[in-house]
Amino acid sequence: MRYTLGKDEKLKGRKLIELLFSEGKRVKSFPIQLIYIKNNRETAAAIKAGFSVPKRNIKLAVNRNRIKRMLREVYRLNKYKFLDNLKEPYVFMFIYMAKEELNYTELEQTFHKVCDKFLTKIKEDEQA
- Please state at what angle helix 104-127 crosses helix 61-78, rounded to 10 degrees: 50
The whole-angstrom separation of Cα 53 and Cα 101 is 11
**Cα 30 to chain centroid, rounded:** 13
CB-count burial class (<10 Å; 0-12, 13-18, 19+) for 23: exposed
Q: Using 50, 70 and 90 to split pLDDT, how confident is the model at 115?
A: very high
pLDDT tens per residue across span 20-41: 999 999 999 999 999 999 988 7
CATH number of the 7-127 domain: 3.30.230.10
Asked if 91 and 9 touch (Cβ cutoff 8 Å), the reply is no
Q: Using 50, 70 and 90 to split pLDDT, how confident is the model at 120?
A: very high
Q: Whole-model pTM?
A: 0.93
pLDDT tens per residue across span 46-77: 899 999 999 999 999 999 999 999 999 999 99
- Which residues, 6 or more positions from 12, have their beta carbon under 8 angstroms from its beta carbon? 50
Burial letters 26-55, b for 16+ CB under 10 A, else e: ebebebbbbbbbebeeeeebebbbbbbbee
The whole-angstrom separation of Cα 49 and Cα 93 is 6
Q: What is the average pLDDT across 112-127?
A: 93
pLDDT score of 79: 92
